[in-house]
Amino acid sequence: MKKLVLAIAVAVFVLFPAAQINAQQQSRAAVAEEFADHPRIETAVKDLEDAVAYMEAAPHNFGGHKAAAIAASRKAIVQLRKAMAYRARKDGK
């Protein structure tokens, strides 16, 4: 009986993470496909990421708006990624 329980425990610990990794890979692929289906959104995310990097490296604070602009840009990036993940789930990809 102990051997059976041990075998099941090992199977769960070995197979469950593998299944999770596969599901995550499929999810990432589906989101990437959504971005491909919506290239303007993909471009917007890349442009926002570039703008954040530029502002972070800039020696000036853009009239006191730098921190707020960076924070708002990061929030926009998160929301755009969530929108693509939502579409991927709705489209069943």
Q: How far is C-alpha 83 from the chain's CA centre?
A: 10
User: Quick one: DSSP state of residue 59?
Assistant: S
pTM: 0.69
Q: How many CB atoms lie within 10 A of CB 31?
A: 19
User: Quick one: DSSP state of residue 92?
Assistant: T
Both tokens of 86, joined, read 């939502």
pLDDT 10s digits, 15-64: 666 555 555 556 788 888 999 999 999 999 999 999 999 999 999 999 99
pLDDT 10s digits, 60-80: 999 999 999 999 999 999 999
Quick check: 33 and 88 in contact, CB under 8 A? yes
All structural domains of the chain with their residue ranges: 2-91
